[in-house]
Amino acid sequence: MAPPDADRARALREQLRAADHAYYVLDRPLLSDAEYDRLMRELVELEEAHPELRTADSPTQRVGGAPSERFGRVVHREPMLSLGNVQTDGELDELDARVHRLLGLPAEEPVRWVVEPKLDGLAVELVYQDGAFVQGSTRGDGVNGEDVTPNLRTVGRLGANRGVPERLAGAPGAPGGRVEVRGEVLLQKKHFEAMNQILLRQGEEPFANPRNAAAGSLRQLDWRVTATRPLSFIAYEALAVGPEPWKHHWQKLADLAAWGFETNEENKLCLGMGEVKAYRDRMAEHRFELPYDTDGVVVKVDDLDLRRRLGAASKFPRWAAAFKYPPQEEATRVKAIWASVGRTGILTPVVELEPVRLSGATVTRATLHNEDEMRRKDVLVGDWVLVRRAGEVIPEVVKPLPERRTGEERRFEFPGACPVCGARVVREEGEKVWRCTGSACPAQLVGKLRHFAQRRAMDVDGLGEKLCAQLVERGLVHEFADLYAIPLQTWAELERMGEKSAANIVAGLTRSKQTTLRRFLYGLGIPQVGEATAAALAGHFGDAERFLAAAEEDLAAVRDIGEETAREIRAWTAEPQNQRAVRRLLEAGVMPAPEEVSARGFFAGKTVVLTGTLARRSRDEAKAEIERRGGKVSGTVSRKTHLVVAGEEAGSKLAKARELGVRVADEEEFDRLLAEG
């Protein structure tokens, strides 16, 4: 049986993974940076104290966002590294001293540094072949990016800036062959605000900040949506295959501009750390006047030969670093506090603020997380508070300013009943949160439907928050299964719907019936059952009926499931109303298929194409190996292919893979991936 630490570590992993996914894939952050850091620290500490709890796929073990499966994969020829942070003058001096040491430069001879504002957008790579733009991708996890070529072609077309040129100008300057240009896709502040206004008018949710808006706009499945967003591109790096034509980074920046890219006019060549620090201080003042968000300055060694000699550690180059600004804070007034009710019935105190400009956006709301946090921070209605956007993302109340109190302020009392359905609210012993006990609470139901329909669960495209709220308000849905019974005409008559969107939803619902048990169990929103637990349950029980019938001991026998989780799951499945909800879904034609194979590892859920002659195994053997690990083997290469395994004399499929930027593995790498999975 797993000890409580194991349960906690798993819960943390799931929370952090969900937060990563929300941030990197959905571009809708779930947690504030401070909260994220707190959870991450807790997990790191737990793993340090109990190394046996550290899993290979723990969020502590990796950087950046995994590329989304929605896009084709692009393997970056050279990894897109991230930057190490320096926080103090001392650390800048250390960087300078290290470079001196490595170069054998006398201390009084200054290093040439290029300093650039750290742009708060989304890093992308553009590939030019003989001067023509052929492929563009996001950074992804640094090694595998997402293919967003058609989307990138639209960047700059609305005139926000020079964008992504189709062809490099000034052919003599542009080397033949392949050039990779790296830089940041971003939204200028004024465009961000205009765009959010439009989204609000259309009844859609506005983006939290320009970074998320840029990422969300670029990472659209339909490039025509991207084309309506006024994105900019600023170039900061060029890489050529073979001998590079540049000796200095500063020269590269000049060439990038000559080819037709926008480079940052704030970039500066500095002689020695003294000039770097002066630039940083000036920029710290001046950065809010820039048309786009920045979150620091990047310091880079100018001499490229020296860069090569300095090399890179596993995640960061040794020749560059980022100096990050502390988050900006502003004072504003709390107009109201209320409790918002989520999917699991948890009441979260939310403060409504006088609108305040903060790091380039207008903030009107912040969460206080839970009652204790609200009491700890001692925030009253009417208070002046200091707010910040941690990581310039989610608004947070830092602290109230009691010296500005007038005596008119009021405490917010947590409601004794659910503000939405009126049911009793309880705070169980040892719990930090109040929960609504209403079994038919509309707010909970809306949250549940949303969770059920999300991409990682039943994957019903278009069934968002607003639509779910309408279904509940109109009494069309009381249980998941009701979704499948709504006639097309009824869908079409809902607000902001039409024949076409209605048809799409119905088609999406029909498609969702062919699902996997793992997705199905996750979508039910059972307490403690995140994606990993759902996968473990699905692998163990194989079908929904067996899962429903499982006793607490049977549940506790599942790999990675502890006693407490088992108890909570059983409490859920024992509820006749939950049993009924599941049965009705099965009756409605939902067919959760078992995945007999592993739901973990590299091949799980991936599509692989085999081509050429493999030396160590037959095609059929290779296919069986992949399928046993949860992968699918297909005969044709498309953007949806995750991997092409190329044996000897691979032909057109290999060429196609290269053309589409699909990852290619030789047999040796295939062996390695099989061993991993």
C-beta closer to ligand IVH: residue 297 or 385 = 297
* Residue at shortest CB range from ligand IVH: 123
C-beta closer to ligand IVH: residue 304 or 476 = 304
CB of 263 to ligand IVH, least distance (A): 10
Query: Does residue 83 bind ligand IVH (CB under 6 A)?
Result: yes
What residues from 116 to 155 belong to the interface with ligand IVH (CB under 6 A)? 116, 118-119, 123, 139
C-beta closer to ligand IVH: residue 390 or 556 = 390
Query: Does residue 184 bind ligand IVH (CB under 6 A)?
Result: yes
286: left (phi over 0), alpha (psi -120 to 50) or beta: alpha
Query: Does residue 585 bind ligand IVH (CB under 6 A)?
Result: no
Query: Does residue 526 bind ligand IVH (CB under 6 A)?
Result: no
C-beta closer to ligand IVH: residue 204 or 266 = 266
Check: CB of residue 423 under 8 Å from CB of residue 339: no
Choices 20-28, 115-123, 381-389, 510-518 (CB under 6 A): range interacting with ligand IVH: 115-123
- CA 507 – CA 83 distance, rounded (Å): 44
Strand partners, 356: 363
552 alpha carbon, distance to own chain's centre: 35
Check: CB of residue 463 under 8 Å from CB of residue 472: no
Binding ligand IVH by CB under 6 A: which of 60, 68, 82, 515? 82
C-beta closer to ligand IVH: residue 123 or 374 = 123
CB of 554 to ligand IVH, least distance (A): 46
Choices 113-121, 556-564, 604-612, 652-660 (CB under 6 A): range interacting with ligand IVH: 113-121
- CA 412 – CA 663 distance, rounded (Å): 55
C-beta closer to ligand IVH: residue 322 or 366 = 322
Provide the H-helix boundaries in 495-562. Answer: 499-512, 517-523, 531-541, 544-549, 552-556
| Binding track over 314-343 against ligand IVH, x by CB under 6 A | ---x--x-x---------------------
With residue 347 as reference, give the H or E element that holds it: strand 347-358
Instruction: Kindly provide the b/e burial profile for residues 125-140, where b requires at least 16 CB atoms within 10 angstroms of the residue's own CB.
Output: bbbbeebebebbbbbb
DSSP states of 220-266: -SSHHHHTTS--EEEEEEEEESSS-S-SBHHHHHHHHHHHT----TT
CB of 277 to ligand IVH, least distance (A): 17
CB of 306 to ligand IVH, least distance (A): 15
Is 348 strand, coil or helix?
A: strand
Query: Does residue 46 bind ligand IVH (CB under 6 A)?
Result: no
What residues from 640 to 659 belong to the interface with ligand IVH (CB under 6 A)? none
Choices 77-85, 146-154, 385-393, 558-566 (CB under 6 A): range interacting with ligand IVH: 77-85
Strand partners, 347: 341
What residues from 195 to 254 belong to the interface with ligand IVH (CB under 6 A)? 236-237
CB of 32 to ligand IVH, least distance (A): 20
Check: CB of residue 570 under 8 Å from CB of residue 555: yes
C-beta closer to ligand IVH: residue 46 or 123 = 123
Choices 76-84, 395-403, 533-541, 643-651 (CB under 6 A): range interacting with ligand IVH: 76-84
CB of 82 to ligand IVH, least distance (A): 4
Choices 1-9, 112-120, 152-160, 513-521 (CB under 6 A): range interacting with ligand IVH: 112-120
Strand pairing category for 294-301 and 112-119: antiparallel
C-beta closer to ligand IVH: residue 262 or 531 = 262
Residue bearing tokens 């560059």: 320
User: Which CA distances in Å does 498 have to 473, 490, 491, 508, 510?
Assistant: 19, 10, 8, 15, 18
**Structure-block tokens of residue 231:** 């994105």
Check: CB of residue 411 under 8 Å from CB of residue 349: no
Annotate 585-601 with three-state secondary structure. HHHCCCEEECCCCCCCC
**Structure-block tokens of residue 597:** 């194979």
- Catalytic, 118? Answer yes
Check: CB of residue 23 under 8 Å from CB of residue 208: no
CB of 319 to ligand IVH, least distance (A): 8
CB of 236 to ligand IVH, least distance (A): 4
CB of 234 to ligand IVH, least distance (A): 8
Choices 79-87, 152-160, 593-601, 661-669 (CB under 6 A): range interacting with ligand IVH: 79-87
C-beta closer to ligand IVH: residue 212 or 367 = 212
Counted residue by residue, the chain has a size of 677
92: which residues sit within 8 A by CB, 6+ positions away? 86, 273, 276, 277, 299, 321, 323
Whole-number CA gyration radius for the chain: 27
Choices 111-119, 399-407, 421-429, 445-453 (CB under 6 A): range interacting with ligand IVH: 111-119
Work out the burial of residue 311: count CB atoms within 10 Å of its CB; fewer than 13 is exposed, 13-18 middle, 19 or more buried.
Answer: exposed
CB of 327 to ligand IVH, least distance (A): 17
- CA 642 – CA 663 distance, rounded (Å): 6
- CA 162 – CA 149 distance, rounded (Å): 17
Question: Which residues in this chain contact ligand IVH in the complex, by CB under 6 A?
Answer: 81-83, 116, 118-119, 123, 139, 184, 236-237, 298, 317, 320, 322
Active site residues: 118
